[in-house]
């Protein structure tokens, strides 16, 4: 397996448009995901980014980690800024004053996507603009200091819904954002994780190839916020997939298909145990999470016709 991986990495371009030297924490899964996304996209691309970790770590004046055109304006509006660029491009191409047909990709964290920017994202999907939206989901507001979002999983301790004597942390279940994207009837929706780089990059290529909006939901491990050692990022991404906590699938024109089917799901405890944010969980709560994960996984399998 190791030998195969060593060979396979040579199939990927060494050219990076999201360049090293940025200020991400060590072991940052999100920065790794962005690197992979950009490798898959190439240079003919315009990137719109929401306020968040990736924006702050990559563009501190007077430096930039970006070798492609990149724009950040606010927190909640990356999808809308992208629609403005796309509309401008259409008009300028029609009028013959602009020739670039660059792909347009908007990126935001889970806070920008699940919470503050949902309306903007929904509007952009509904209007059918030709762009890819990438959600970089690390399951809380990590940039401001690990506050809960509606992407935070049940039972996780965050700074705004901490575990305590009478609290077990997050008391709600993670919002199903890919399903919300699918409900807009857009041509392509997929989930991915940096721990499966080829799957991730293939999905990026597929997503930008479709005409109209597409949504890629990337599970990004955050050692700082999840309280894990920084060398566990890849491992934990794999555990999320192997336990069924974060299944990899795509929805191509409404048709669900599983991208990776583990022979047998591992118990969620394997995934929860290494993480400080779940340290306080009782066996009863772990059991509750296991039941939920199994049920949701079975539902997804049903949608995939399994």
Query: In the window 105-144, what residues touch other proteins (CB under 8 A)?
Result: 119-120, 122-123, 126-127
Which span sits near other proteins by CB under 8 A: 97-105, 157-165, 184-192, 219-227? 97-105
What sign does the CA torsion over 106, 112, 113, 119 have? negative
Name the strand (E) or helix (H) holding 146: none
The yes or no reply on residue 44 touching other proteins (CB under 8 A) is yes
Residue 117, judged by CB atoms within 10 A of its CB (0-12, 13-18, 19+), counts as buried
197: left (phi over 0), alpha (psi -120 to 50) or beta: alpha
Which span sits near other proteins by CB under 8 A: 61-69, 205-213, 219-227, 257-265? 61-69
Contact with other proteins (CB under 8 A) among 32, 38, 40, 48: 48
Distance set, CA 136 to CA 107, 113, 243 (Å): 7, 9, 20
Minimal distance, residue 58 CB to other proteins, in Å: 8
The yes or no reply on residue 160 touching other proteins (CB under 8 A) is no
- Among 286, 274, 195, 269, CA closest to 228: 274
The yes or no reply on residue 182 touching other proteins (CB under 8 A) is no
The yes or no reply on residue 77 touching other proteins (CB under 8 A) is yes
CA distance linking residue 171 with residue 15, whole number of Å: 43
Query: In the window 184-243, what residues touch other proteins (CB under 8 A)?
Result: none
Minimal distance, residue 45 CB to other proteins, in Å: 7
- Token pair in block for residue 288: 């509750």
Contact residues: other proteins, CB under 8 A: 43-46, 48, 55-56, 59-62, 64, 66-74, 76-77, 80-92, 94-95, 97-98, 100, 102, 119-120, 122-123, 126-127
């Amino acid at each position: 397996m190791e030998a195969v991986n060593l060979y396979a990495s040579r199939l990927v371009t060494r050219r990076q448009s999201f360049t090293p030297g940025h200020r991400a924490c060590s072991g940052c899964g999100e920065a790794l995901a962005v690197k992979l996304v950009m490798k898959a996209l190439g240079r003919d691309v315009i990137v719109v980014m929401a306020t968040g970790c990736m924006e702050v770590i990559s563009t501190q004046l007077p430096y930039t980690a970006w070798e492609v055109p990149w724009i950040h304006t606010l927190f909640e509006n990356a999808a809308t800024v992208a629609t403005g660029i796309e509309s401008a491009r259409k008009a300028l191409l029609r009028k013959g004053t602009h020739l670039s047909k660059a792909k347009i990709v908007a990126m935001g964290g889970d806070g920008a996507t699940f919470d503050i920017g949902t309306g903007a994202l929904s509007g952009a999907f509904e209007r059918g603009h030709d762009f890819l939206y990438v959600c970089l989901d690390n399951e809380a507001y990590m940039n401001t200091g690990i506050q809960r979002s509606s992407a935070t999983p049940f039972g996780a301790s965050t700074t705004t819904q901490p575990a305590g004597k009478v609290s077990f942390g997050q008391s709600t279940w993670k919002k199903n954002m890919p399903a919300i994207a699918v409900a807009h009837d857009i041509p392509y929706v997929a989930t991915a994780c940096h721990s499966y780089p080829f799957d991730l990059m293939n999905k990026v290529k597929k997503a930008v190839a479709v005409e109209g909006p597409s949504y890629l939901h990337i599970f990004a491990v955050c050692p700082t916020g999840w309280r894990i050692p920084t060398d566990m990022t890849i491992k934990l991404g794999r555990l999320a997939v192997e336990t069924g906590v974060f299944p990899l699938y795509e929805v191509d024109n409404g048709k669900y298909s599983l991208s990776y089917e583990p022979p047998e799901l591992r118990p969620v405890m394997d995934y929860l145990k290494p993480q400080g944010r779940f340290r306080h969980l009782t066996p009863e709560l772990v059991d509750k999470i296991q039941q939920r994960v199994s049920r949701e996984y079975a539902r997804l399998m049903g949608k995939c016709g399994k």
